[in-house]
Amino acid sequence: MTAPIDHAALQLEALAETRFTVPAIKCAGCMGKIERELARVAGIAEVRVNLSARRVAIRHAPALDEDALVAALAAIGFEAQPVAALAGTRDDREARMLLRALAVAGFGMMNIMLLSVSVWSGAEGATRDLFHFLSALIALPVIAYAGRPFFASAWKALRHRRTNMDVPISIGVVLATCLSLYETATGGEQTYFDGATMLLFFLLAGRALDAAMRGRTRAGIGALLGRMGRSGGVIEPDGTIRRVPADQLLPGMAMLVAAGEALAADGIVEDGSSAIDNAMLTGESLPEPVGPGSHVHAGTVNLAQPLRIRITAAAQDTALAEIARLMGEAGQSRSRYVRIADRASRLYAPAVHSLAALSFLGWMIAGAGWHQSLVVAIAVLIITCPCAMGLAVPAAQVVATGALMRRGLLVKDGSALERLAEVDTVLFDKTGTLTLGEPQPDLARIEDTALCIALALAQHSRHPLSRGLARAIQAREIAPAQLDGVTERPGHGVFATSDDVSVALQRGDADADTMASVLTIGRRSWTIPFADDVRADAASTMAALRAEGLELGILSGDRTDAVAPVARALRLFARANASPQAKLAHLERLKASGRRPLMVGDGLNDGPALSAAHASIAPGSASDISRQAADAVFTGSGLMPVALAVRTARACMRVVRQNFAFAIGYNLLAVPLAIAGQVTPLIAAVAMSLSSLVVVVNSLRLAGAAK
């Protein structure tokens, strides 16, 4: 569980606590390994892994800094990012507050119901008055505490002269409580304390479900911005190199970028030749060769040899910052989206309020007294209180997201699910979305003994092709061979000897269009071709999406001749060579013509398009910014979750509409009773729980929807 603590050494100084996001934590094995191995590191007192959030909390001596802890995690094979202590706790606090309110409402509801049952079964006189008094004693603090989320939200809406679902709820609860207090004080026959607390309990259950859904998926997606190029090595006039944070770099400075380092600013190469991994910016998987005079951008990674770069744009002026700015603007239209529950309440709340007012007036005109007319009006409000409506949306959405999660798709929130159901066009990025984004080697013609050596060589290089090769060979459960004297010559390959035979893994023909590596063992050599293949189930996913009546297309930043074969194979309309701005413009045009596009993309260059689209999905391998911008993230190597997402979202909305239809149908039956003054607290309580139950059971049918 918790790591053993070296008390003698650690009690003397206060411990610091640092949290890290470790996306690779998947199972009990990872948890055990991290907690066991890290506890052995000097200075670390306690390690606690949170599997749901994919986080590790480390209590350690203040002398250990973040970098040392990241290195310790890296040493046991886990990539980690430090997270700010308070990041993302606002949603957590809200979810906890709702849970507490739910518990209080549950407590109040059950105890008041206990007393109410006695009243309904015929308690009279002093006993009934005592029970009413006790109910009031329990109900007042419970309603004051558990009702806060609704009162606060209703007050906020009213102050902005708007109305939402919480306004009729709050008015109903407050009026019912006041009337019941009056009845209790005057020894009346009926009180509605049970109805009011029960209403709060069911509604809070809906809210808590909604909050739990958001918390669950947010943990899987993680929020890691700005991990690339946080600082640059500036070359001073006297030749020394000084690390400067990215936001303090200035145009005109000379910057030295080591192999494997991410660029922190845009610039022109002055000296050196290397290859640049543009995958973050353009989605292009093939490294781009650069030499003196080439333009390079912040966020890309220098793969081979050190480069001397003259900075042309830094901080807020880089192409990267421009993309971030576009994303911020594009995302604003989405925050204006009105959720279905709020749209329903815009019609519902005025209808209910005028109905209650009319029945009050009607009874007054008919000659009933103030008291009786008020009782009827409040009964109308309570019976129409959107109890089933409050559950109609969250219950269905929680079940649907749970079903999708089991199939490898994490939906961020309910609004995302609602928008996913409305899309009519799907646009795919190519590299990393339709394809896996990782070059896959073709190992068919190479024997196992050679593969052992290839694996050992590949493990010594950070080049994307080498890493892809190492992964592919490891997947065949082949162990690496023993090597001596390994040297990596950047831009050329890895060289070593194995059993006194010289071996090498070199790059293929530089000018060839296809990617390849050359493996040499002694005098024999093999060419290992690489291809970034289309995901295996892409064709069947397209068929499934077409069956849903969606229009499909490719919107890629890649070269035309790279996009064309994929587009032909999948029979898709394609647009290549699209810059981030062009992608954004394309989506805005679609939206202006009344379409509702779903964007599926992974690269940083897709970021603005992902934010602007009506809904968006990113693969789990996508850049952090894209995962942040997308409504949903799918994991695994299949593309099918995209089709499942649309189908399940539509099924979910069908169930939501059924739930609404049921809630309205129930009102049509119950409201005449209430207006006629025939609703007793007993009828209200039974009707309320029955309608909620029906809505929940109907929503549970979605459990098998993502098949």
Partner 1 sequence: MNGLAFLIPIALGLGLAGLGAFFWSLHSGQYEDMDGAANRILIEEEGE
36 is a contact residue toward partner 1 (CB under 8 A): yes
Q: Which stretch binds partner 1 (CB under 8 A): 110-118, 300-308, 522-530, 605-613?
A: 110-118
86 is a contact residue toward partner 1 (CB under 8 A): no
CB 187 to partner 1: min, Å: 18
- Helix H or strand E encompassing 74: helix 66-75
CB 390 to partner 1: min, Å: 22
Between 221 and 344, whose beta carbon lies closer to partner 1? 221
From CA 494, how far away is CA 468, in angstroms rounded? 15
CB 119 to partner 1: min, Å: 13
4 is a contact residue toward partner 1 (CB under 8 A): yes
Q: Which stretch binds partner 1 (CB under 8 A): 43-51, 61-69, 156-164, 650-658?
A: 43-51
Q: Which residues pair with 20 in a beta bridge?
A: 56, 82
Between 126 and 365, whose beta carbon lies closer to partner 1? 126
Q: Residue 581: what residue type? A: Q
Between 100 and 460, whose beta carbon lies closer to partner 1? 100
Between 39 and 181, whose beta carbon lies closer to partner 1? 39
Phi, psi for 110 (deg, rounded to 5): -65, -40
Place of tokens 């413009």: 585
Q: Which residues pair with 502 in a beta bridge?
A: 497
CB 111 to partner 1: min, Å: 5
From CA 528, how far away is CA 519, in angstroms rounded? 7
Among positions 16-35, residues that touch partner 1 (CB under 8 A) are 27-29, 31-32, 35
Q: Residue 11: what residue type? A: Q
Given a contact cutoff of 8 angstroms between Cβ atoms, the answer to whether 431 and 279 are in contact is yes
Between 408 and 508, whose beta carbon lies closer to partner 1? 408
CB 51 to partner 1: min, Å: 3
User: Which x/- pattern, by CB under 8 A, does the window 471-510 give for partner 1?
Assistant: ----------------------------------------
Written as one string, the DSSP assignment of 3-19 is: PP--HHHHTTSPPEEEE
Between 104 and 632, whose beta carbon lies closer to partner 1? 104
405 is a contact residue toward partner 1 (CB under 8 A): no
CB 153 to partner 1: min, Å: 22
Q: CB 187: neighbour CB atoms within 10 A? A: 12
Burial class (CB in 10 A: 0-12, 13-18, 19+), 626: buried
Between 31 and 564, whose beta carbon lies closer to partner 1? 31
85 is a contact residue toward partner 1 (CB under 8 A): no
User: If we measure between CA atoms, which residue out of 187, 186, 157, 183 comes closest to residue 378?
Assistant: 183
Given a contact cutoff of 8 angstroms between Cβ atoms, the answer to whether 349 and 169 are in contact is no
Q: For partner 1, which residue of 10, 59, 64, 100 counts as binding (CB under 8 A)?
A: 100
Between 107 and 151, whose beta carbon lies closer to partner 1? 107
> Under rule CB under 8 A, how many of the chain's residues touch partner 1?
26
Among positions 114-143, residues that touch partner 1 (CB under 8 A) are 114, 127, 134, 138
CA angle 287, 291, 294 (to 5 degrees): 85
Exposure string for 401-434, b = 16+ CB within 10 A, e = fewer: bbbbbebbbbbbbbbbbbbbbebebbbbbbbbbb
Helix (H, G, I), strand (E, B) or coil at 185: helix
540 is a contact residue toward partner 1 (CB under 8 A): no
Contacts by 132-137 with C-beta closer than 8 Å and gap 24+? 132/180, 132/183, 132/184, 132/188, 132/191, 132/193, 133/184, 135/180, 135/184, 135/191, 135/193, 135/194, 136/180, 136/181, 136/184, 136/191, 136/193
- Helix H or strand E encompassing 469: helix 464-474
CB 633 to partner 1: min, Å: 17
Among positions 214-273, residues that touch partner 1 (CB under 8 A) are none
Among positions 52-81, residues that touch partner 1 (CB under 8 A) are 52-53
CB 215 to partner 1: min, Å: 10
51 is a contact residue toward partner 1 (CB under 8 A): yes
49 is a contact residue toward partner 1 (CB under 8 A): yes
99 is a contact residue toward partner 1 (CB under 8 A): yes
Q: Which stretch binds partner 1 (CB under 8 A): 47-55, 78-86, 254-262, 589-597?
A: 47-55
1 is a contact residue toward partner 1 (CB under 8 A): yes
From CA 345, how far away is CA 375, in angstroms rounded? 24
635 is a contact residue toward partner 1 (CB under 8 A): no
Residue from 166, 266, 277, 429 carrying the catalytic annotation: 429
User: If we measure between CA atoms, which residue out of 98, 337, 99, 91 comes closest to residue 214?
Assistant: 91
Encoded tokens for 578 = 């699209």
CB 52 to partner 1: min, Å: 4
From CA 242, how far away is CA 256, in angstroms rounded? 10
661 is a contact residue toward partner 1 (CB under 8 A): no
Q: Where are the alpha helices (DSSP H) in 121-268?
A: 125-146, 148-159, 166-185, 193-221
374 is a contact residue toward partner 1 (CB under 8 A): no
Given a contact cutoff of 8 angstroms between Cβ atoms, the answer to whether 616 and 598 are in contact is yes
Q: For partner 1, which residue of 18, 68, 96, 364 counts as binding (CB under 8 A)?
A: 96
Q: Which stretch binds partner 1 (CB under 8 A): 107-115, 147-155, 245-253, 685-693?
A: 107-115
Among positions 137-196, residues that touch partner 1 (CB under 8 A) are 138
357 is a contact residue toward partner 1 (CB under 8 A): no
Residue 194 annotated as catalytic: no
Rg of the chain, C-alpha, whole Å: 32
Between 32 and 522, whose beta carbon lies closer to partner 1? 32
107 is a contact residue toward partner 1 (CB under 8 A): yes
CB 207 to partner 1: min, Å: 16
| Spatial CB neighbours of 316, under 8 Å, sequence gap ≥ 6 | none
CB 400 to partner 1: min, Å: 20
User: If we measure between CA atoms, which residue out of 181, 172, 193 comes closest to residue 379?
Assistant: 172
From CA 118, how far away is CA 634, in angstroms rounded? 53
Between 49 and 652, whose beta carbon lies closer to partner 1? 49
State the catalytic residues. 429
Contacts with partner 1, residue ranges (CB under 8 A)? 1, 4, 27-29, 31-32, 35-36, 49-53, 96, 99-100, 103-104, 107, 110-111, 114, 127, 134, 138
